[in-house]
Amino acid sequence: MIGEDEAVRDAWLSLPDVVAARRRTLRVLVAAQVVGALGYGAGPSVGVLLAQEVTRSEAMAGIARASTTIGAAVIALPLGMLAARAGRRRALTLAWAVAAAGSAVLVLSAAAGSTALLVLGMVALGAGTAAGLQARFAATDLAEPAHRGRSLSLVVWVGTIGAVLGPNLGVPGEALEARTGLPALSGAFAIAAVLLALTAVVVGLFLRPEPLDVVRRHTVPTAAPGTAPAAAADAALPPEPDATLTSRPTAPDATSRPTAPPPLRLRAALREVRRSPAASFALLALVLSHLAMVSVMTMTPVHLSHQGHGITVVGLTISLHVLGMFAFAPVMGALADRVGAVPTVLLGQVVLLASAVVGVAGEERTDAVVLALFLLGVGWSMVTVPAATLLSGAVETASRPLVQGASDSAMNAAAAVGAIASGPLLAVVGFAGLSAASALCVVPVVVAVVRRRTLVHA
């Protein structure tokens, strides 16, 4: 039950202009996520084939395949910093535009047979992944605390469309290649470049008003004209985390003006994460669940191929895995809003552990591998949706874009490490050993809750 202090603190979220801005922001983010995810969704499927075709080398193709994940890891943090300084609209518009340029470069790499252009294009395409991740956080900027999970999960859920259809852009891509004479495997990325550019235009034109500006307008203290800059700056500095949200909403008038927020520093934002048990826990859960998911998912097609299965079984398995990752996001968001983020994360750990057990026990059975991958996707969703919601609510408003960018960067860095390490692990210990290794990611999350019992109520 929300106490009186919390109700006063969050009263501004019920103001008519904020409600209207919230609805418009969600509509734009949903539209952008559908079209954008469709554009960068070609990377994991057609991109793999293009990497093999251009490089003619398994080793170099592996580097190229990892480049998108590495690009997302490198871009996510600067993207969060840009959002903190200039707003979500400019940050997301730039990220989608960079991804569009990356797709265009991939078309050139196919025409020139250039590995350097291939890697450059894949890295730039990672900006689309980073934009998709930041979009889910942007959905929580104006969300009421009781519905943050629902808002975030909606943006995650609509990404299902792109995640499922994007890998199949190769089919219309082939038709485009036949009509225009484009090189083989480049048609999908020509289509993706148009879709990603369209996404950038949609966000740039329609993500107004800027969500973070709305937050600052209603939460930053006001100062009368003539107030000394030092005094105004002191007034804007919060005495404790979340204090910037404690001011009552007041309509601006001619005798007052919003005080500029204090300068944002990444180091200070990360110190805030360390000081907050809830934020630290959320970041830990996000990174480890992503590490477990990517490590097993990356090598599952190889394992199935070793068992003699073709592209049909492999495609069905990955499709069911992606379905588990995204299709149930609204359920996870509603569950987190109702029972709490941490209990939902703990349920996710149970599902991740169940996935590992099925993978260990049934590594030679195709149905068991398919089930393990589906459970892995569901467990990932059950952890990432509530953990991302918890992270957003556990840090100060001004720090959120920086913390969220650092979180996305850490998740993608973990994914890159997991993807690289999973190959040698599969070769040495097999699919059962790889599944067992993924189960180790559950341990630190459970230990963190046991050591801080108060987290259960977050």
Confidence of residue 111 (pLDDT cuts 50, 70, 90): very high
Same domain, 178 and 319: no
What average pLDDT does range 309-318 have in this prediction? 76
Domain contains 224: no
Cα–Cα distance, 164 to 14 (Å, whole number): 36
Question: For 200-203, which contacts have Cβ atoms below 8 Å and span 24 or more sequence positions?
Answer: 200/93, 200/94, 200/96, 200/97, 200/100, 202/28, 202/31, 202/32, 202/35, 203/28, 203/32, 203/89, 203/92, 203/93, 203/96
Give pLDDT tens digits for 186-207: 999 999 999 999 999 999 999 9
Domain contains 233: no
What average pLDDT does range 348-359 have in this prediction? 97
Write down which residue in 181, 216, 251 finishes a domain: 216
CATH number at residue 392: 1.20.1250.20
Position 458 scores a pLDDT of 60
Same domain, 208 and 285: no
Position 5 scores a pLDDT of 57
Position 254 scores a pLDDT of 38
What average pLDDT does range 104-119 have in this prediction? 94
Domain contains 237: no
Same domain, 212 and 339: no
Q: Which two tokens stand for residue 173?
A: 């891509």
Domain contains 419: yes
Give pLDDT tens digits for 320-338: 888 899 889 999 999 998 9
Position 316 scores a pLDDT of 80
Position 220 scores a pLDDT of 61
Position 392 scores a pLDDT of 87
Same domain, 61 and 161: yes
Confidence of residue 230 (pLDDT cuts 50, 70, 90): very low
**What's the chain's average pLDDT?**
84
Percentage of residues in the chain with pLDDT exceeding 90?
A: 52
Same domain, 164 and 307: no
Instruction: Pick the closest to residue 363 from 434, 297, 293 (CA basis).
Output: 434
Kindly tell me if the per-residue pLDDT of 120 is higher than 80: yes
Cα–Cα distance, 404 to 396 (Å, whole number): 12
Q: Greater confidence, 303 or 95? A: 95
Same domain, 313 and 173: no
Lowest mean pLDDT among 87-101, 259-273, 300-314, 444-458: 259-273
Give pLDDT tens digits for 22-71: 999 999 999 999 999 888 877 766 776 788 788 876 556 666 667 888 89
Cα–Cα distance, 175 to 10 (Å, whole number): 53
Cβ atoms of residues 327 and 451 within 8 Å: no
How far, CA to CA in Å, does 53 sit from each of 86, 110, 122, 184, 410? 40, 8, 14, 9, 31
Same domain, 210 and 316: no
Same domain, 1 and 118: yes
Percentage of residues in the chain with pLDDT exceeding 70?
A: 84
Same domain, 300 and 406: yes
For residue 314, the number of C-alpha atoms closer than 13 Å in the C-beta half-sphere is: 17
Give pLDDT tens digits for 122-150: 999 999 999 999 999 999 999 988 888 88
Domain contains 239: no
Q: Greater confidence, 256 or 276? A: 276
Kindly tell me if the per-residue pLDDT of 109 is higher than 80: yes
Q: How many domains does the chain have?
A: 2
Position 7 scores a pLDDT of 63
Position 243 scores a pLDDT of 37
Position 231 scores a pLDDT of 37
Range ranked top by mean pLDDT from 134-138, 349-353, 392-396, 424-428: 349-353
Position 265 scores a pLDDT of 65
Same domain, 310 and 433: yes
Same domain, 199 and 300: no
Confidence of residue 11 (pLDDT cuts 50, 70, 90): confident
List beta partners, residue 366: none
Q: Show the domain range for 112.
A: 1-216
Position 267 scores a pLDDT of 76
Give pLDDT tens digits for 293-306: 989 988 888 788 78
Same domain, 296 and 193: no
What average pLDDT does range 361-387 have in this prediction? 95
Kindly tell me if the per-residue pLDDT of 118 is higher than 60: yes
